[in-house]
A and B are shown apart, each in its own frame.
Chain A
Amino acid sequence: MSQIRYTKDHEYVRVGGGEGVVGISEYAQQQLGDVVFAEAPPVGKVLKKGDPAAVVESVKAASDVFAPVSGEVVAVNSEVESTPGLINEDALGRGWLFRLKLADPGELGALMDESAYADYLKMLD
């Protein structure tokens, strides 16, 4: 059973089996506008929590995506590199960016769950 966690920076990590799938949230894709380019980190790269990991660009804005938790990159979503619009259409599904093998599952405790993130978004407005 996978669980989803969010960062204050609007990244999500969907955890299951010791691995986490990382992407940007529904809110982030809406704010960014039409995504025109996405660049994931190379497979094998070791990331610490908070490291700049990926880049997502719309026409008017370029955004760094930071690693929500520490881990090694084991897969990247090549579909999103050729069809960046997937991030707008399905940010939480087919618009995922990369998958990490988690180094320290304890880090998840510091992140927000779905309802905490929803409250956080209300506070931003």
Chain B
Amino acid sequence: MRYLPLDASDREAMLARIGVPDIEALFADIPADKRIEGLLDMPLAKSEMAVERAMTGIAQRSLAAGAVPFFLGAGAYRRHIPATVDHLVQRSEFLTSYTPYQPEIAQGTLQVLFEFQTQVAALTGMEVANASMYDGSTACGEAMLMAHRLTRRSRAVISGGVHPQYGDVCATLAHMAGDAIFRLPPDLNASEDIAAAIDDETSCVIVQTPDFFGNPRDLSPVAAAAHARGALLIAVFTDPVALGALRSPGEMDADIAVGEGQGLGNALNFGGPYLGLFATRARNVRQMPGRLAGETVDAAGRRSFVLTLSTREQHIRREKATSNICTNSGLCALAFSIHLTLLGAAGLRRLAKVNHANAVRLAERLAAIPGVEIVNTHFFNEFTLRTPRPAAALIEALAGRGVIGGLPVSRLLPGTGLDDCIIVASTETNTEDDRAAYARALAHCLR
């Protein structure tokens, strides 16, 4: 078998050295009546060619986003990823290395993490960032728990503009830990009164900007309201490119900034692996979960990088750890970092501008269709449409006409009276032809 280098004579020689008659002797601790003959319900080994044929067949039974005019976001964004990124992440030394616990032979990984941490801090306007978490939604949950530890309170308030699945993750954690959580109802117009929900038991307020419906929000008043009551502001974002055009969480006095990094360097991959970004103020660093790469020197006085402040983590603190997290999203963080290095500040600003321009153009076209209304006053690369027909059926009809038109809000928020709403995203990957095709298809479906 192509992945198993040992042959029969090797095995015989090895058994002889060990001093047992056969391989079963080494499995003697398994109770006899619990040993199985093998995996009888599974087919035997396949050649590379056969595996490729089988898997390619399955791949053909999904529609690839790039094959059609594609306008879906809602937490994951289709980006053009420069060819360099995927080429570099496939280098053996990045792909097949482990967590850098032996720093002398892992300076590649450690320096990349140090650069990544700096990039995330700069992007979010915060002072320090960790070496990544699993994704934006779990990073949001971890931020909530961190706020509980910092304030010694246990009530979280979640804005109605936060991605519903992020809110669900926080709710699950809160319920399991026995903590209180207050979720404001879905806030289509960014008009909720969050301050009214904050009390003296509140540890944190979690607000997303741009929010789930596409509205950018000014967080400064929310920060002030939270701080006045001794609570913290957690700012959430789902597309890092938005920070190339909009005010950063740090500038708006957030205490913790968390978000999804998939939108730079990482493909859609049907939902994972993604990349949790997590940044905070320097004074909070000891309560921050996740790995941290820090700078030091080696015995020869050369600048070096090493995982540090490890006593926060599970392998040392065990039940008193800040989190149970072990793995980060290392390779996805590398891809993010390479993409952002290729862009630079100027490239990021221009990329953000193109995203916004494309969304503006699309909104103008769609708003011109009778019966279609754009809900948002302001937006970045995502906005919400109201249509005269139920949105779920409309999206299916559009798909039938070869257009992926966005997310029917009722899919993630059933029974909230938003059945006529679609969240539409537009990135730099959309062309004028795509926009024309969408407008045509939508007009046809609404006839």
Contact = CB atoms under 8 A, between A and B. Distances in A.
A110 interface: no
B121 to A, nearest CB: 22
Contact of A61 (B286, B316, B320): B316
B282 to A, nearest CB: 15
A54 B101 CA distance: 28
Contacts of B316: 60-62
Contacts of A26: none
Contacts of B365: none
A60 B308 CA distance: 10
B26 to A, nearest CB: 34
Contacts of B310: 59-60
A75 to B, nearest CB: 23
A57 interface: yes
Interface in A19-47: 36-37
Interface of A: 36-37, 57-62
Interface in B273-310: 286, 308, 310
A61 B286 CA distance: 15
Nearest to A59: B310
A62 B310 CA distance: 9
A97 to B, nearest CB: 17
Interface string B308-344: 1011000011001000000000000000000000000
16 contacts: A36-B311, A37-B286, A37-B311, A57-B311, A58-B311, A59-B308, A59-B310, A59-B311, A60-B310, A60-B316, A61-B311, A61-B316, A62-B311, A62-B316, A62-B317, A62-B320
Contacts of A58: 311
Interface residue SS majority, chain A: strand
A37 B310 CA distance: 12
A107 B310 CA distance: 36
A62 B312 CA distance: 9
A87 B286 CA distance: 20
Nearest to B312: A62
Nearest to A58: B311
A57 B308 CA distance: 12
Contacts of B311: 36-37, 57-59, 61-62
A36 B311 CA distance: 10
Given A59-B311, A61-B311, 14 more contacts: A36-B311, A37-B286, A37-B311, A57-B311, A58-B311, A59-B308, A59-B310, A60-B310, A60-B316, A61-B316, A62-B311, A62-B316, A62-B317, A62-B320
A80 to B, nearest CB: 16
Nearest to B320: A62
A59 B292 CA distance: 13
A89 B123 CA distance: 41
Contacts of A36: 311
A52 to B, nearest CB: 10
Contacts of B286: 37
Contacts of B308: 59
What 8 A-B pairs are tightest by C-beta distance, nearest first? Answer: A62-B311, A57-B311, A62-B317, A62-B316, A61-B316, A60-B316, A59-B310, A37-B311
Nearest to B317: A62
A62 B317 CA distance: 7
Contacts of A62: 311, 316-317, 320
A85 to B, nearest CB: 15
Contacts of A37: 286, 311
A57 B316 CA distance: 10
A61 B316 CA distance: 6
A37 B309 CA distance: 10
Most buried by A among B286, B310, B311, B320: B311
A29 B311 CA distance: 16
A61 B310 CA distance: 9
A62 B311 CA distance: 6
Most buried by B among A57, A58, A61: A57
B181 to A, nearest CB: 29
Interface in B334-358: none
